[in-house]
Chain A
Amino acid sequence: MKINYPNRTQQPRIASPLELGLQEPEQLVLQNGSSAYLIKQGKDEVCRIDFVVKAGSAYQEKMLVASGVSKLLKEGTSTLNSKQIADTLDFHGAYFESSISKDSAVFSLFTLSKHLDALLPLFSSLIFDASFPEHEINLYLERQKQEFLVNSEKVRFRAMLEFNKLVFGEGTAYGQIASLEDYNHMSREDVLSFYNRYYQPENVYLIVSGHITDHLLSLLESNFGHQQGGQYVASEKKAFTQPINTRQCFVKKENSMQSAIRVGTPIMNKLHPHYNQFVLLNTVLGGYFGSRLMSNLREEKGLTYGVNTFITNYEHGGYFSVSTEVNVDASELALSEICKEMELLRTEEVPNEELDLVKQYLYGTFLRNFDGAFSLAERFKSVMDFGLDLGFYQKSLEEILRTDAKQLMEMARLYLREENMIKLVVGGMDDYASFIQS
């Protein structure tokens, strides 16, 4: 029998990039003016319906209310109690999820198409006919309080809250963070007033993805097209962010084996002409497994299990951040290496071989992000909030693939200046006194 001995020393040829080939969703305007964006794709008879309400935490006047409303919708309507709602969802094998950001609340229903008739009326009543029973609110707050206490034991969680406060400013719409005490003050009146104001047809839209039939379209109309608005009042202008006043911060946590480190600064959003080039720079620094920071802190020095950088975008502000957890004894070393890697990007061009690798990797990431109708729905939402469409992604990809090393170094000089960075350590640190003073 013949056995092949392939040439193992040579990597197979890399093919040129495929087009993303994205089709824009179709927009369906319901009778009451709400829009539904339709993403028809996939062979399986399943669908996902996302209901987006512009009622994120930035709009609340009292801490915890926006997330409270979003989590309590499923705990009662004018005709169904919490148990009946749960029974109906579970009996039909559906998943109902809610998530909340600073800008909006999103409710997602995942179901087999054959159960849509049973589930859409329920989904609609959860959103427009929630009743917020007092005992459910109390139980929710008690459980949340416990969860908050457990999370507060984690350096990662503490660092996330603290960094948010530093980068957006305490007391601003984006910089607010809850404390334990806040769990004692959210009342049913607070919940109802927020719900009645923001959960109105003028303030919502739907994204429907997967197996879409004419029958589903008529169900959308009958369940989401008839609610009359009229009570929605846009929120007063308030500050979403404010200038940074503290750049170095250390929070001690006794008996911690690791420190959570955050380094970062406010950054532009998707609409800015430098955004795509900065995405590429972010990936080189800490956006993939082979990144500069991962190679340095993990693969060379073994200081951490992982280090990543992120670009976080909200409608009215955003930030770039480096995030890691390291052995407490390595806190200073890790911080200085993070700054060193940024400096290197400001002072030396990224070699072409590395640049090509990162571009290819990002291209693959773009393809992966559009794997299936449900992921397309998520991608669509994240550009929709900036008034963009899916065409944004093809343009981004093309711009990323065109960017050269000189342009990247320019981006680093503009946006990765050390003097602009907030540096935060939560956990332990030998010489924190001089860190805070510096």
Chain B
Amino acid sequence: MIDYQKHTLDNGLTVIVHQDSSTPIVAMNIVYKVGSKNESADKTGFAHLFEHLMFGGSVNIPKYDEPLQGAGGDNNAFTNADFTDYYLTLPKNNLETAFWLESDRMYSLAFNQNSLDVQRQVVIEEFKQNYLNQPYGDVYLLLKPLAYKSHPYQWNTIGKDITHIEQATMGEVRSFYDNYYNPNNAILSVVGDVDTDEVLGLADKWFASISSPDPHLNGYPAEPEQLEMRRQVVHRDVPQDALYMAWHMPGRMDQKFYHCDLISDLLSNGNSSRLYQSLVKKQQLFTDINAFVSGDQDPGLFIVSGKVTNGVAMEIAEEAVVNDLNKLINNDLEEGELKKVKNKIESTLIFSQISVLNKAMNLGYYELLGDVANFNTEVDRYMAVTTEDIRQTASSLFKPANTNVLHYLKK
């Protein structure tokens, strides 16, 4: 249970403050409600490229990083399909520098052509380093378009194709900024040994004068229900075959999200989990196996991925996974096993509250999802799940018609 104060400025900026005196470090997080799902299909990768440009200087501050580092601060950012998150930590007595920096880049960017030219290259190298020059690196470039046919989740945050990044223009950078980087589209959270009123005063001082114009937001299509199983086979230069399976699941705010998350824990969280015990240790069909939920705001994916033991046929491996999933549908789950994964959730949530940075990010994230108050009641939504919920959700989730299968085979 953490105490916080929430306040909304007249321009729509939401400010959340939580006091924690255990450390001299203060964390500030700003989340903008824009991600790769807001991109158009012929200009993918833009939200993430834009995140890089946010460090290329704002109207009054030529370089973002230098003054922050000079105040003992450190920072980073990430982009996903739903939102873009900027976070920093610095000594508590330099907190105002953080307000100065973050408000200036919300007020106006410098739109520096050189920065755009260089960051395009940096992002292209990032694309190569993480997706193209790694064994199995292109899996999600294949799996997402297999599973999604309409919704923008069909492309990855890094983009569909390097050429989209190469073609980004300064005009597009400006209109993206004007549409999404406004106070009413952002959530600011501050956690540390701070005085709440003082932080709210600083928020007012630095952010209240930034206006929120009416944005021109693009809508995007929902994903229609999948009606038949989809399969894809690729051959790559890798040492081991790998199996990827994906099923459409409910969005983050649906109570069934919690069923799915617990199903993924039953299947693969910890060495006692079902798939690990069955497929890695007992049958030895896989050398490793994972089940996880994508956690997207809109309906997302439930994914099982595993590396198949050399010499085992892919069909056998896939059938074994399906058998184990069916056991959940055939009602073999007992209370004790469900209790086990709930206990793990409880401790994970408590451990996630130890660092001020994690807390600042979580407060912003839960507010983005709808209401920061849900952060304190998150554990209850897991505890409410019953074995019958798991059985029912598993049976609609793992329907053959809802299944996407990728066989990633070695050449």
A: residues with CB less than 8 A from B are: 1, 3-6, 8-9, 11-12, 14-15, 17-18, 21, 41-44, 46, 74, 82-83, 85-87, 89-95, 110-112, 139, 142-143, 146-147, 149-150, 152-155, 255-258, 288-290, 298-305, 325-327, 356-358, 360-361, 363-365, 367-368, 370-372, 374
Q: Using Cβ atoms and an 8 Å threshold, which residues of chain B touch A15? A: 91, 93-94
Q: Using Cβ atoms and an 8 Å threshold, which residues of chain A touch B70? A: 14, 356-357, 360-361
Q: Using Cβ atoms and an 8 Å threshold, which residues of chain A touch B74? A: 288-289, 361, 364-365, 368
Q: Is B253 positioned at the interface, with any CB of A under 8 Å from its CB?
A: no
Q: Which 10 pairs show the lowest CB-CB distances between chains A and B? A: A302-B121, A364-B72, A93-B347, A86-B271, A15-B93, A86-B272, A12-B96, A149-B239, A90-B270, A93-B343
Q: Using Cβ atoms and an 8 Å threshold, which residues of chain B touch A361? A: 69-70, 72-74
Report whether A46 and B354 are in contact in the complex, using a CB–CB cutoff of 8 Å. Answer: yes
Smallest CB-CB separation from A358: which chain B residue?
B69
Q: Using Cβ atoms and an 8 Å threshold, which residues of chain A touch B190? A: none
Q: Using Cβ atoms and an 8 Å threshold, which residues of chain B touch A155? A: 133
Report whether A146 and B310 are in contact in the complex, using a CB–CB cutoff of 8 Å. Answer: yes
Please give the distance in Å from A356's CB to the nearest CB on chain B: 7
Report whether A368 and B309 are in contact in the complex, using a CB–CB cutoff of 8 Å. Answer: no
Q: Is B24 positioned at the interface, with any CB of A under 8 Å from its CB?
A: yes
Q: How far is the CA of A256 from the CA of B129 in the complex (A)?
A: 10
Smallest CB-CB separation from A110: which chain B residue?
B351
Q: Using Cβ atoms and an 8 Å threshold, which residues of chain B touch A290? A: 63, 65-66, 69
Please give the distance in Å from A140's CB to the nearest CB on chain B: 10
Given A143-B288, A150-B238, A12–B354 Cβ distance below 8 Å? Answer: no
Q: Using Cβ atoms and an 8 Å threshold, which residues of chain B touch A372? A: 22-23, 354-355
Smallest CB-CB separation from B282: which chain A residue?
A83
Report whether B240 and A360 are in contact in the complex, using a CB–CB cutoff of 8 Å. Answer: no
Report whether A82 and B354 are in contact in the complex, using a CB–CB cutoff of 8 Å. Answer: no
In-complex Cβ contact of A305 among B25, B90, B126 (8 A): B126
In-complex Cβ contact of B22 among A43, A94, A356 (8 A): A43
Q: Using Cβ atoms and an 8 Å threshold, which residues of chain B touch A258? A: 125, 128-129, 133
In-complex Cβ contact of A357 among B69, B94, B281 (8 A): B69
Number of interface residues of B (CB under 8 A): 88
Q: Using Cβ atoms and an 8 Å threshold, which residues of chain A touch B351? A: 46, 95, 110
Q: How far is the CA of A71 from the CA of B400 in the complex (A)?
A: 38
Q: Is B7 positioned at the interface, with any CB of A under 8 Å from its CB?
A: no
Q: How far is the CA of A363 from the CA of B94 in the complex (A)?
A: 12
The digit string for B295-329, where 1 denotes a CB below 8 A from any CB of A, is 00000000000010110000000000000000000
Report whether A288 and B356 are in contact in the complex, using a CB–CB cutoff of 8 Å. Answer: no
Q: Is B51 positioned at the interface, with any CB of A under 8 Å from its CB?
A: no
Q: How far is the CA of A150 from the CA of B242 in the complex (A)?
A: 11
Smallest CB-CB separation from A42: which chain B residue?
B22
Smallest CB-CB separation from A283: which chain B residue?
B69
Given A18-B93, A368-B89, A74–B271 Cβ distance below 8 Å? Answer: yes
Please give the distance in Å from A352's CB to the nearest CB on chain B: 12
Query: Of B144-152, B172-180, B200-208, B388-396, which stretch is located at the interface?
Result: B200-208
List which B112-130 residues lie within 8 A (CB) of chain A.
Answer: 117-122, 124-126, 128-130
Report whether A327 and B22 are in contact in the complex, using a CB–CB cutoff of 8 Å. Answer: no
Q: How far is the CA of A365 from the CA of B91 in the complex (A)?
A: 9
Q: Is B234 positioned at the interface, with any CB of A under 8 Å from its CB?
A: no
In-complex Cβ contact of B90 among A110, A139, A325, A364 (8 A): A364
Beyond known contacts A17-B91, A304-B125: 11 more, CB 8 A cutoff: A8-B104, A17-B72, A43-B22, A74-B271, A146-B307, A152-B239, A155-B133, A299-B122, A300-B118, A302-B119, A368-B74
Smallest CB-CB separation from A365: which chain B residue?
B74
Q: Using Cβ atoms and an 8 Å threshold, which residues of chain A touch B366? A: none
Report whether A6 and B71 are in contact in the complex, using a CB–CB cutoff of 8 Å. Answer: no
Q: How far is the CA of A18 from the CA of B193 in the complex (A)?
A: 13
Report whether A139 and B281 are in contact in the complex, using a CB–CB cutoff of 8 Å. Answer: yes
Smallest CB-CB separation from B73: which chain A residue?
A364
Max chain B C-beta neighbours (<10 A), residue from A89, A149, A364: A364
Given A90-B272, A93-B343, A368–B97 Cβ distance below 8 Å? Answer: no
Smallest CB-CB separation from B98: which chain A residue?
A12
Q: Is B287 positioned at the interface, with any CB of A under 8 Å from its CB?
A: yes
In-complex Cβ contact of B271 among A9, A90, A299 (8 A): A90
Q: Using Cβ atoms and an 8 Å threshold, which residues of chain A touch B63? A: 290
Q: How far is the CA of A4 from the CA of B340 in the complex (A)?
A: 53
Max chain B C-beta neighbours (<10 A), residue from A4, A5, A6: A6
Report whether A327 and B239 are in contact in the complex, using a CB–CB cutoff of 8 Å. Answer: no
Given A90-B269, A142-B287, A372-B22, A18–B239 Cβ distance below 8 Å? Answer: no
List which B248-279 residues lie within 8 A (CB) of chain A.
Answer: 269-273, 277
Please give the distance in Å from A52's CB to the nearest CB on chain B: 21
Q: Is B223 positioned at the interface, with any CB of A under 8 Å from its CB?
A: no
Q: How far is the CA of A364 from the CA of B119 in the complex (A)?
A: 27
27 cross-chain CB contacts under 8 A = A6-B205, A6-B206, A8-B103, A12-B99, A18-B92, A21-B24, A83-B272, A85-B271, A89-B271, A91-B336, A91-B339, A92-B343, A93-B348, A139-B284, A153-B134, A153-B238, A299-B122, A302-B121, A325-B133, A327-B128, A360-B72, A361-B72, A363-B91, A364-B69, A364-B90, A371-B25, A374-B354
Q: How far is the CA of A139 from the CA of B287 in the complex (A)?
A: 9
Q: How far is the CA of A152 from the CA of B134 in the complex (A)?
A: 10
Report whether B125 and A90 are in contact in the complex, using a CB–CB cutoff of 8 Å. Answer: no
In-complex Cβ contact of A12 among B100, B119, B209 (8 A): B100
Report whether B240 and A4 are in contact in the complex, using a CB–CB cutoff of 8 Å. Answer: no
List which B170-221 residues lie within 8 A (CB) of chain A.
Answer: 204-206, 208-209
Q: Using Cβ atoms and an 8 Å threshold, which residues of chain A touch B161? A: none
Report whether A153 and B271 are in contact in the complex, using a CB–CB cutoff of 8 Å. Answer: no
Please give the distance in Å from A422's CB to the nearest CB on chain B: 23
Report whether A371 and B125 are in contact in the complex, using a CB–CB cutoff of 8 Å. Answer: no
In-complex Cβ contact of B91 among A18, A90, A139, A154 (8 A): A18
Q: Using Cβ atoms and an 8 Å threshold, which residues of chain B touch A326? A: 125
In-complex Cβ contact of B350 among A46, A363, A368 (8 A): A46
In-complex Cβ contact of A44 among B122, B135, B281, B354 (8 A): B354
Please give the distance in Å from B358's CB to the nearest CB on chain A: 10
Q: How far is the CA of A300 from the CA of B118 in the complex (A)?
A: 7
Please give the distance in Å from B9's CB to the nearest CB on chain A: 10
Q: Using Cβ atoms and an 8 Å threshold, which residues of chain B touch A91? A: 272, 336, 339-340, 343
Q: How far is the CA of A218 from the CA of B61 in the complex (A)?
A: 57
Q: How far is the CA of A17 from the CA of B92 in the complex (A)?
A: 10
Report whether A256 and B133 are in contact in the complex, using a CB–CB cutoff of 8 Å. Answer: yes
